[in-house]
Every structure is written in C-alpha cells, then in structure tokens.
C-alpha cells in the first residue's frame, strides 16, 4: 500500500459526459501528479500540483482540468468525454522541497475509465 488513495476504482460513462476523479496523496506529500495510461502504453504525464498551485503541465487536453485543494487532495476533471479517453488514470504523490526536483513518486491504484 503506497498510501495514495484514488476513487472511484472504476467508472463507466457515455461520450459527451463529464467525470471527476479524486486522489488523496500520502501524508506529508505536497505534490500530486496525474498520469494517463492507455492500452498497455507507458504512463503519460498530464499535470502536477504543488501545495495547491499548478507547477507543470504535460500532454493534457483542454477538455481536462485539475485542482488541488487546501487539504492537498486533488481532483481531475474530464469533460466532453470521447471514446479515446478510455484509459487508466493514475495519481502519484511525492515529497518535494519548494523548487526541488521530482524523483521518487508513489502511485495510487488508479481509476479505470471506460467511455461508451
């Protein structure tokens, strides 16, 4: 158990809909990262938040957004869903000093999103 929790575990929804994925980082971790894994591919970095502020963006679509709340949990919002958005979405957390580098990240169990 990494200490990172994600809900829900599975989500099935229809095209055009909007969903919210939730992540709680390990106790003490200030950084939260979101990754997408499609069809046995590698993990693709989406976005990072550090202590409530967006720090880095990867290949995140404009239809997707995220935020980190004062209690450090994070939500990833996916809207106008398309079939191709079906994937595993992982959240990870790490201990970063302000302005520090990203090294070991600890991953949650993921949310499997199926868009029909």
Which region, judged by CB under 8 A, interacts with another protein, from 14-22, 33-41, 69-77, 79-87? 33-41
Please tell me the distance from the alpha carbon of residue 102 to that of residue 45, in angstroms, as a whole number: 13
* 64 is an interface residue for another protein by CB under 8 A: no
Please tell me the distance from the alpha carbon of residue 53 to that of residue 34, in angstroms, as a whole number: 14
* 30 is an interface residue for another protein by CB under 8 A: no
* 58 is an interface residue for another protein by CB under 8 A: yes
Q: DSSP code of 25?
A: P
What stretch of H or E contains 114? strand 111-115
Which region, judged by CB under 8 A, interacts with another protein, from 1-9, 13-21, 69-77, 79-87? 1-9
Please tell me the distance from the alpha carbon of residue 76 to that of residue 21, in angstroms, as a whole number: 5
Residues that bind another protein (CB under 8 A): 2, 4, 6, 33, 35, 40-45, 48, 55-56, 58, 90, 92, 99, 101-110
């Amino acid at each position: 158990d990494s200490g990172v929790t994600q809900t829900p575990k599975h989500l099935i929804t229809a095209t055009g809909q909007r969903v919210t994925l939730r992540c709680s980082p390990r106790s003490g971790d200030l950084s939260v990262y979101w990754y997408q894994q499609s069809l046995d591919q590698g993990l693709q970095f989406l976005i990072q938040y550090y202590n409530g502020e967006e720090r880095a963006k990867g290949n995140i679509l404009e239809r997707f957004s995220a935020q980190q709340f004062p209690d450090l949990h994070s939500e990833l919002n996916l809207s106008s869903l398309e079939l191709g958005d079906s994937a595993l979405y992982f959240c990870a957390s790490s201990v970063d000093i302000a302005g520090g580098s990203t090294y070991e990240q600890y991953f949650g169990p993921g949310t499997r999103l199926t868009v029909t």
